[in-house]
Amino acid sequence: MSPPTLMITDISTWNLVQYPAYLQKQYQNLKKQQTEYNKKKAEYDIQKKENDKQMKKYEQNLKDYNEKK
């Protein structure tokens, strides 16, 4: 089912065989999303740390350049 359909679907009317399967699928989707998020966040943190280093070098070079003027 698509997300808009799930929003209007009353899952209390499902039989007991379908409901656990639905929960398992939702749990798997959540775990997949968390894994993807954590991976992207780790990549972002590495890139941010690298950019911060480059910015410090740039600011130091700019300061040195302005002092020479």
Q: pLDDT, tens digit, for every residue of 17-49? A: 667 888 888 899 999 999 999 999 999 999 999
CB neighbour burial string for 45-58, b if at least 16 within 10 angstroms, e if fewer? eeeeeeeeeeeeee
For residue 5 the two structure tokens come to 């359909």
Q: How many CB atoms lie within 10 A of CB 18?
A: 11
User: What pTM did the predictor assign?
Assistant: 0.58
List the alpha helices (DSSP H) in 1-69. 3-8, 18-68
User: Cα–Cα distances in Å, from 7 out to 1, 11, 45, 49?
Assistant: 10, 10, 35, 40
Q: What is the pLDDT of residue 2?
A: 55
